[in-house]
Amino acid sequence: MARATDLRPSDLHGVIGFLITPVKEQEITYRTQNAINVEETARATEALINDGVTGICLNGTFGELPSLTWEELKTFTATVVKTARKRVPVFAGATTLNTRDTIARAKEFRDMGAEGLLMGRPMMSPLSDENIVRYYQDIATELPEMAIFLYDDMEAFKRPITTRTYVELAKIPQIIGAKYRTRLMISNLMENTYNCDVDAVKGNIKLLPGDFDWYFANKLYGLDTCWSSSVCGGPAPIMALRDALNSQRLEEAQVITREISRLYEGIVPNGNFELWHVDKIPFMKARFAAAGYLKPGPALPPYHYISPARVEVAKECGRRSRELQEKYSRQAKAA
């Protein structure tokens, strides 16, 4: 019988980075094969680890899970795992439209050396609370040696994970963390149940806020960890926020949080998160290309069109990331 994972919620700390999938700089069509930029994937992985991330999650939505072929997904994941060399845990994106394919992919990622799985849910139709629990139970039963990092995205998976579902998921020991949907700062358009969900999991699952919400979650609940996709535009400001929170320099942390919040201005069109998901993938590619820290390459079909107006918004977000990265890189060198 396989040994259960050694990873626990306490092993998640600092900044868990969500890595974009670098694609070759070439014309991309539906005929394109082997699109992964292997060299840039290795360089980006090394850069994020050297610059302070304490875990790497792969292939959520902006990581282009629905756009990659299985061969490309294997190439990308294997490159990250090989480059990481166990210095930080790698959570491979194994979500598919059904339990059996998800388990099959997860086993291949396990055999590559990934320590964990970034797990969303089947999304052709929304899962009921009962089926959400059973889905994760089945994966955990089949792969006890793999830690599970939940991906709680209510647009991608058509509904949030409810508080009563978190109660049941917290009983599965392999589930150690979650990319939580907190919008304490960037939106008041939905009921926020973060406090109820934190109470529900009783410390068995670390519910990670985004970098934009980390200050609030740290102040209210002492959260020492966040998830961040903005690290792909340059992690220096996120690491500065980490250091300020760790030292409880809360005024400084609040200032940095306001700066980080500007990186998100204009991302969600008219505050509509459903519209945001329509062009999320090409928007993030354009945003991080403009930031210059990584080379994301073009978006893959069928999620590759984005209007010129949205490209300009993405470029402005990327420009702000570049400026903030330069500012906090200089401060770190001077310290």
List the catalytic residues. 179
The encoded tokens of residue 198 equal: 């934190």
Compute CA distances 330 → 51, 88, 293, whole Å. 13, 25, 15
User: What H or E segment, with its residue span, contains residue 215?
Assistant: helix 214-221
**Residue 90, phi then psi, degrees to nearest 5:** -110, 125
Rg, Å, the chain Cα set:
19
Any idea which residue has 């094969």 for tokens? Answer: 33
- Of 282, 230, 232, 294, residue with least CA distance to 39: 294
Q: List, in sequence order, every beta strand (DSSP E) within 66-213.
A: 90-93, 116-119, 147-151, 175-179, 206-208
Burial bucket for residue 308 (CB in 10 Å: 0-12, 13-18, 19+)? exposed
Q: What is the distance between the alpha carbons of residues 84 and 82, in angstroms, rounded to a whole number?
A: 6
Query: Is residue 300 a contact partner of residue 67, using CB atoms and an 8 Å limit?
Result: yes
SS3 335: coil
Task: Specify which residues 151 forms β-bridges with.
Answer: 179
Q: Which of 58, 63, 48, 60 shows the shortest CA–CA distance to 238?
A: 48
Pairing of strands 55-58, 147-151: unpaired
Which spans in 51-128 are helix H?
70-84, 99-112
